[in-house]
């Protein structure tokens, strides 16, 4: 799970950089769309995995 989180966060940072460059060079609207898609496809799964990890740990500690 940790490697998947790290992979998503690395991809998030790289696509953020690319979105800023695209936004400055080509079109700010396209940069914003890239950033929104990046948040949905990279940041959300990483945060969701962390939340699920906490829930799993709580369930394991109950037993």
Chain segment 24-58, per-residue pLDDT in tens:
999 999 999 999 999 999 888 888 888 888 888 88
Is the dihedral angle over the CA atoms 8, 10, 14, 17 positive or is it negative?
A: positive
- What is the DSSP code string of 5-56? HHHHHHHHHHHHHHHHHHHHHT-HHHHHHHHHHHIIIIIHHHHHHHHHHHHH
**The pLDDT value given to residue 19:** 94
**The pLDDT value given to residue 42:** 87
**The pLDDT value given to residue 4:** 79
Rounded to the nearest angstrom, the gap between the alpha carbon of residue 19 and the centroid of all alpha carbons in its chain is: 14
Q: What is the mean pLDDT of residues 12-30?
A: 94
**The pLDDT value given to residue 46:** 85
Report pTM. Answer: 0.76
């Amino acid at each position: 799970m940790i490697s998947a989180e790290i992979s998503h966060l690395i991809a998030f940072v790289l696509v953020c950089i690319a979105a800023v460059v695209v936004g400055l060079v080509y079109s700010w609207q396209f940069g914003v769309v890239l950033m929104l898609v990046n948040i949905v496809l990279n940041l959300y799964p990483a945060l969701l995995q962390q939340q699920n990890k906490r829930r799993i740990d709580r369930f394991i500690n109950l037993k």
